[in-house]
A = this chain, B = another copy of it.
């Protein structure tokens, strides 16, 4: 069902070169340095419950589109925050999904799902109203087989490294279990301290308490907070972590004096921090995180520019990550000035930037990455992880920053069985991009083969110090 030349340019010369390049790299192992799978899937290694719970319910890319066309999240079985019942008729939710699968025509979600159905679960029919229940049965029966346990899929997907995203206050219990097991899959944590840095998060105090507990440092001051973070970073590193990650509305950076930082932190502990305090503290903490990275070598990632929970009705009822995070204009040149001037020339520092604002690719990010030794660009993120989005990224970034200031692909997913689909799509688009350059005699075919391998494998391993 899947065309072997899918996503390649239809022009025969380009297609032929793309196909040749793709053949050279398609079997390289998957390196996944940033994502949102659950480590417990791999520590517990229990069967995934059913197709709806595996594919539909965790994937806000899917249900946001259904919601946009008037389908309630209740009908899809998305769990509520307060436990109010939504449907648990998994087959009925699946049927709604199938009835509206035409909505995904031309979207990356559609392309990934087609791949997943076909390649991962061996489905041979088009997914629609008529085939919905047969396909449900087929996937459900696969999920009951040992070959479809999380570890078996991980091995079959040829994943060399898989990084999860873990709060700063985590005990990394599941990671520890995996490491202590007899299974050799390399699953590593990533240090994500947003929940203890961002005063505006409702669970901030609770997260601080957990951080106190897990570190044994009673956090009553800014300096204690910093010590606790340093201790947890060190613990994460022992558990295999190579990176930290920071989700921020704005990439604004500035250094406060210790005294100013302490004052802000005390106001937060007293429940009196303002929105401006939160902005200033986050800007300062990005500087602190960069400082720590220079010292401990964790690669620092910044994911900036998302307005989280734009639809309050959805967020209040269903919680975070429910498909209503909306990108905003984002500025990097001025906002990163303080951070890059302090750490951008440091030989031990590495910063990977992600954006949802494509207008910054050629205007700000490629020029910054094409100058600062510490700065690398993450791949097209979220809405832009798509055929056109990846193409635009390469077209707008490569001429100024080359490919060596980028870090290959991130799948960034909580949809585990979509991982091979996402990497395959990215590999095809990169090969197609290079093929277009070969066909226009901008690079030669030898360069292109080398670059295809770099984009698929070497850049991510080097970029993330894996």
Contacts and interface: CB of A to CB of B under 8 A. Distances in A.
Interface of A: 2-3, 5-11, 13-14, 64-65, 67-70, 102-108, 110-111, 307, 310-314, 323-329, 331, 333-334, 337, 340-341, 344-345, 347, 356-359, 362-364, 366-373, 375, 383-384, 386-389, 395-396, 398-405, 436-437, 439-443, 447, 450-451
Contacts of A402: 65, 103-107
Given A310-B333, A311-B340, A386-B400, 12 more contacts: A2-B441, A5-B441, A67-B371, A105-B443, A107-B398, A107-B399, A311-B341, A326-B333, A328-B331, A329-B331, A329-B359, A329-B363
Most buried by B among A331, A347, A439: A439
B371 A399 contact: no
30 contacts: A5-B441, A6-B440, A7-B441, A10-B13, A68-B375, A68-B401, A68-B405, A103-B404, A104-B402, A106-B402, A307-B333, A307-B334, A310-B368, A311-B340, A311-B344, A314-B345, A323-B371, A327-B364, A328-B331, A328-B363, A329-B363, A358-B363, A362-B384, A366-B383, A367-B383, A383-B399, A386-B399, A386-B400, A387-B442, A389-B399
Count this chain's copies in the assembly: 3
A443 B311 contact: no
A387 B401 contact: no
A326 B398 contact: no
A432 to B, nearest CB: 9
A325 B107 CA distance: 35
Contacts of A310: 333, 337, 340-341, 368, 371
Nearest to A443: B105
Contact of A373 (B13, B70, B436): B70
A347 B368 CA distance: 41
A451 B106 CA distance: 10
Nearest to A361: B358
Contacts of A334: 307, 328
Contacts of A2: 441
A106 B440 contact: no
Nearest to A307: B333
Contacts of A383: 362, 366-367, 399-400
A224 B351 CA distance: 50
A313 B227 CA distance: 30
Contacts of A3: 441
Given A107-B400, A345-B311, A383-B399, A10 B440 contact: yes
Contacts of A367: 325-327, 383
A443 B362 contact: no
The 6 closest A-B pairs by CB, nearest first: A10-B439, A6-B441, A3-B441, A386-B399, A359-B359, A10-B13
Contacts of A111: 442
B341 A106 contact: no
Contact of A362 (B70, B312, B344, B358): B358
Most buried by B among A107, A110, A439: A107
B363 A64 contact: no
B311 A403 contact: no
A403 B105 contact: yes
Contact of A11 (B10, B313, B328, B366): B10
A328 B329 CA distance: 13
A362 to B, nearest CB: 6
Contact of A399 (B313, B325, B337, B387): B387
A357 to B, nearest CB: 5
B441 A369 contact: no
B347 A357 contact: no
A370 B10 contact: no
A398 B106 contact: yes
Contacts of A323: 371
Nearest to A337: B310
Nearest to A64: B371
B387 A362 contact: no
A55 to B, nearest CB: 18
Contacts of A5: 441
Contact of A447 (B102, B108, B366, B388): B102
Given A107-B398, A313-B341, A363-B357, A370 B64 contact: yes
